Chain A
Amino acid sequence: MPLGGIIFLTIFIAIFGTFLIFLARAIGGQRKDNSAVKRDIYECGIPSQDKKESRISVKFYLTAILFILFDIEIIFMYPWALSFRDFIANGAGTPVLISMGIFVAIFVYGLWWEVKSRALEWD
């Protein structure tokens, strides 16, 4: 596993990227009229009213939580998928298939419950 190569590539890209940004910054130059309006955030021209309480819907974090849980269930499938053929070759195919069937049944029930309880409804 060429870890040296991966670290070398990451460091190279980090340096390459920052170099490019500073190069563009140097070549780009600086316009004179650096007015406040220009430095304001782009809101289609309307002066941005930063409301006190920015009510961003909290639905996003629920998706992230469900993503973690279902992602772990998928990660458990990788070693199973890898060694499934060896299990069959050793004759132990059926119990492994049944145990994975139970695991997938739980996965499906969890997904079905999420859909039924409208947890993933988007406004």
Chain B
Amino acid sequence: MDSVSSEGLSLITNVGLNHYLVLSTALFCLGLIGVLLRRNAIVMLMSIELMLNAVNISFIAFGKYNNNIDGQIMVFFVMTIAAAEAAVGLALAVSIFKRFKEVNIRFFEHLRG
């Protein structure tokens, strides 16, 4: 009995690589749910940002526990791509809003071409 509690206790006290990976998975799934459930295009973009942040946490966790700094450099690049994607996504959303006065997903079917 005590082995379980001591193992359980040690699970709480010393934080290892797995803790960060579980945190990153949880955030990733939250972002996924956000993308699937929400109708507003901008909130979907935000959920994608949330998923990208989850990926960043696991990059850095792996980087730290294998003391290889490429994880941080990869996070650097992921941030740039995510910011660029948010910029273009919002520029698109603004131009769609100007046309349709509504930013809901339903209106995306009207795009021709």
Query: Do A and B contact each other directly (Cβ–Cβ < 8 Å)?
Result: yes
Chain A residues with CB under 8 Å of chain B are 58, 61, 65, 68-69, 72, 76
Residue B30 at the chain A interface, CB threshold 8 Å: no
Q: Kindly provide the distance from the CB of B16 to the nearest chain A CB, expressed in whole angstroms.
A: 19
Residue B90 at the chain A interface, CB threshold 8 Å: yes
Q: B72 — nearest CB in chain A belongs to which residue?
A: A79
Residue B91 at the chain A interface, CB threshold 8 Å: yes
Interface residues on B, range: 10 to 19
CB <8 Å contact, A72 and B80: yes
Interface residues of A, dominant DSSP: helix
B residues 32-68 near A (Cβ < 8 Å) are none
- Residues of chain B within 8 A of A68, CB atoms compared: 83, 86-87
Choose among A58, A61, A65, A69 the residue with the greatest number of B CB atoms under 10 Å from its CB: A65
Q: Kindly provide the distance from the CB of B93 to the nearest chain A CB, expressed in whole angstroms.
A: 10
CB <8 Å contact, B90 and A61: yes
In the A-B complex, the 3 residue pairs with the smallest Cβ-Cβ separation, listed nearest first, are A65-B87, A68-B83, A72-B80
